[in-house]
Amino acid sequence: MHQSKQRAFNCAVSFLGLFIASLSLEAQEVLTVEQALNKCKNTYPSQFESKKRLACFDSISTPAIEVNAVESLSDNPNTADGDVATDNASKGVLVAKEKPVAIAVKKTNADLTYLERKWRLTSEGDWNISDFEIYKSNYLLFSHTDNTNDTPQSPNHINTENRNLDAEDLKFQLSLKTELYNNIPLIRDLPYVTSSRLWGAYTQKSNWQLFDPRASRPLRENNYEPELILSLGIDNEIDGERKDYIPRMLNLGVVHQSNGRSNPTSRSWNRVYLESGWELTDRISLMVRPWWRIPEDKQKDDNPDIEKFLGYGDVTVRYETPSGKTALSVLMRNNLRSDNKGFAQIDLQQRVFNNPYIKLHMMLSKGYGDTLLDYNHSQSILGFGISLGE
């Protein structure tokens, strides 16, 4: 066991040597498409100003916009309402012959923040239910634990079978989401709401005892997690200035999680959560997600004390370098009780070979609930491998 730990430590040190972090920050204050549309509606709210509003909308969607502003020629008495023209196309500046509405639109995903990319907060876009994108990170990791959970138990399921687990797993996760509906009526007209989407998501996390041939290399745990998520983009700017204390995103979700096992190792629970996302800077995001467990019959509950270990929510802080090649995230949760049971996980991703899809991935976690079967079991786990997505 000592040699196994030493090998894992040596691999981890070598793996860390592949990560190079950039410290410089680059920022450019511009309006997103949704913020620009919202600004046009607020600037020309009257039905008698429809021509001006349409001209404002046209100025946003014109492909010639590449730089910083829409300028006004309203002082020109010969200018007709709603007329637009391009001036000095080589500079990419659109000149609107109407009242001034300063708009600068981001054009590429490289300019978007993590929350805007992840939850599509900046444009409605063309979408189909058959189109899938990455939800949580998809990874394949070699992992090592310092404390195997050989006899998992819960208050309603006493278990005495010793599984004699190996300390190493091949750990992998598949996580996808698809948009079910966007631009939702009633919700889209709420103040400060810049986008509204309904998502369906599915995550499956598995731990495979690949390195234990004596036990026929079993899959020791699978966690299945379908979700339904209502996601709202929030306008967090006041008078053209971003306010860090206003969340950029709100998610209302319903999630089921289970491991698909029979007793005595069956585990499951259902939750409703409200997740808020802040952009503290262009590179640092903060997500706070409190949840409420949907009550179950205490006699049939597989894990009646799960909140004592997994708590009532989680917090995630994420940082990425200006190039987007390196990302660091920290997830934390705590039961907020005097016995202070918690969990923390650090994920480090590094893009290699200029490939935007495949990344080197290191994961370090400590505490309760790495998997659902381990909800009341504390351990430290080190993993490294590759991942797809953010």
Establish whether 258 is a catalytic residue: yes
Q: Which of 72, 157, 206, 256 is catalytic?
A: 256
Residue 289 phi, psi dihedral angles, 5° rounding:
-135, 90
Helix (H) or strand (E) holding 150: none
Q: How far apart are CA 37 and CA 250, in angstroms?
A: 19
Establish whether 50 is a catalytic residue: no
The CA-to-CA distance between both ends of the chain, in Å, stands at 33
Query: Which of 224, 134, 225, 217 lies closest to 170, judged by CA?
Result: 217
Q: How far apart are CA 364 and CA 342, in angstroms?
A: 14
- CB-CB neighbours of 113 under 10 Å: 21
Q: How far apart are CA 200 and CA 19, in angstroms?
A: 34
Please give the angle made by the CA atoms of 218, 224 and 229, to the nearest 5 degrees: 160
Burial annotation 152-165 (CB, 10 A radius, 16+ → b, else e): bebebbeeeeebeb
Edge-first strand order for the sheet with 84-86 is 70-72, 94-96, 84-86
Q: Which of 258, 266, 276, 378 is catalytic?
A: 258
Sign of the four-CA dihedral 244, 246, 249, 252: positive
- CB-CB neighbours of 325 under 10 Å: 18
Q: Retrieve residue 141's tokens.
A: 């990791």
Active site residue ranges = 256, 258
